[in-house]
């Protein structure tokens, strides 16, 4: 998935269909002087339905669909003929999509399962024909119900990526490189900050044909919760991850301090993020010889409150151990 094809935020206007009006027809036939009421009911207006699709990873297909309208219900006819229902319109979205009311910013619902359906704009009910209003004292009603009007609203679709592991780190920590090595993803990699501008997903092929999904988001800097750098715009993509993998380079001045800064940014964005399982990967460890690594390990054993591993994506060091540790945490 290329950066230009990743769309995770879409606004649109949705409108259901009007209900058809009931018929006030009176039966007329040769040799039948007063046939009485025989007006049929109007058809239901079409719904606008949000539907989950596990084969979608982005909202790109909805980027230019700003107006979604369902069909109107047909009017009732003579001989108690019912009007046809309006055509329902399905809006397929990837799993992890949050639907908000644009005006109130209220979360209406979330789509998390394949083929899950939620009505976002309900079609109007069809009106009753005059057949329903006949009584012993009113044998020729000349009126019928109108259909119920349509519903319309402005909605916002926000995608929160559903992944098992989320990569968290400062710019240039090696997140994209790690993703490219342990998965088949091809993220943009370059020697400057904020190379990653859009989230990337990759599937890790584990033993016995088992897999898990890893998400890489743009680098976080201190003050991201206040909007610095790329801000907290992409932090929602790791809200649903089971594990947060913090990537900190081995040449960092203070590894513990970097971890604390990253953790504090997540806490300020959403305190519930601290309830997730966490692990630290010390990246770029190919720059360390055995003696430096032993010294750093002795120091980190006393400082870091969570498990950590030494890895090198370029030198392919510690990656198997990292996969094993992540798989164990996912299945514990």
Q: How far is residue 292 CA from its own chain's centroid?
A: 44
Burial code of 36-50, b = ≥16 C-beta within 10 A, e = fewer? ebbbbbbbbbbbbbb
**Angle in degrees, CA 301, 303, 304, rounded to 5:** 75
Cα of first residue to Cα of last residue in the chain, in angstroms, is: 30
**Residue stretches of the annotated binding site for GTP:** 169-176, 194-198, 216-219, 283-286, 312-314
Q: Do you know the residue count of the chain?
A: 332
d(CA 245, CA 259): 11
CA 266 centroid distance within chain: 20
**What is the pLDDT at residue 226?**
56
Q: How much is the pLDDT for 203?
A: 83
pLDDT digits (tens, 9 = 90+) for 266-313: 888 888 888 889 999 999 888 888 888 888 888 888 888 899 999 998
Looking at residue 194, what is its pLDDT?
46
Q: Which residues are annotated as a binding site for Mg(2+)?
A: 176, 196
Closest by alpha carbon to 312, among 291, 281, 268, 280?
Answer: 281
User: What local confidence, expressed as pLDDT, does residue 310 receive?
Assistant: 92
Binned average pLDDT, 10 residues per bin, the chain of 332 residues: 67 97 91 86 97 90 94 94 96 93 94 95 96 91 94 94 84 84 67 55 84 80 57 69 90 90 86 89 88 88 90 89 92 84
Q: Bin 85: left if φ > 0, else alpha if -120 < ψ < 50, else beta.
A: beta
Token output for 183: 């998965």
What does the pLDDT read at residue 186? 66
What is the pLDDT at residue 303? 87
| Three-state DSSP class for residue 103 | coil
Q: Assess contact for 121 and 151: CB atoms under 8 A.
A: yes
- Going by the annotation, the residues of the binding site are 169-176, 194-198, 216-219, 283-286, 312-314
Instruction: Check residue 1 and give its pLDDT.
Output: 45
- The pLDDT, as a whole number, for residue 192 is 41
């Amino acid at each position: 998935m290329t950066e230009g094809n990743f769309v995770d935020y879409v606004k649109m206007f949705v409108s259901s269909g009007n209900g058809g009006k009931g018929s006030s027809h009176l039966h007329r036939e040769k040799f039948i002087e007063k046939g009485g009421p025989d007006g049929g009911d109007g058809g239901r207006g079409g719904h606008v339905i949000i539907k989950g699709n596990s084969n979608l990873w982005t909202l790109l297909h909805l980027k230019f669909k700003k107006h979604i309208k369902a069909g109107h219900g047909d009017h009732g006819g003579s001989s108690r003929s019912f009007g046809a229902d309006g055509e329902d319109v399905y809006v397929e979205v990837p799993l992890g999509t949050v639907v908000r009311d644009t005006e109130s910013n209220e979360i209406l619902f979330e789509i998390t399962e394949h083929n899950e359906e939620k009505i976002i704009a309900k079609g109007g009910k069809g009106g009753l024909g005059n057949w329903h209003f006949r009584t012993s004292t009113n044998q020729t009603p000349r009126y019928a119900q109108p259909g119920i009007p349509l519903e319309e609203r402005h909605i916002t679709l926000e995608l929160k990526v559903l992944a098992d592991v989320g990569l968290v780190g400062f710019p240039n920590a090696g997140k994209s490189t790690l993703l490219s090595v342990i998965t088949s993803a091809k993220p943009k990699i370059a020697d400057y900050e904020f190379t990653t501008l859009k989230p990337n997903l990759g599937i890790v092929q584990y033993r016995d044909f088992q897999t898990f999904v890893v998400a890489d988001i743009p680098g976080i800097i201190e003050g991201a919760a206040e909007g610095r750098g790329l801000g907290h715009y992409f932090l929602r993509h790791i809200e649903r991850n089971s594990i947060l993998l913090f990537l900190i380079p081995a040449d960092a001045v203070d590894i513990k301090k970097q971890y604390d800064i990253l953790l504090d940014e997540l806490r300020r964005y959403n305190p519930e993020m601290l309830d997730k399982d966490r692990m630290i990967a010390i990246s770029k460890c190919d720059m360390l010889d055995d003696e430096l690594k032993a010294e750093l390990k002795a120091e980190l054993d006393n400082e870091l409150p969570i498990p950590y591993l030494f890895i090198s994506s370029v030198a392919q060091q510690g990656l198997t151990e990292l996969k094993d540790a992540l798989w164990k945490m996912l299945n514990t």
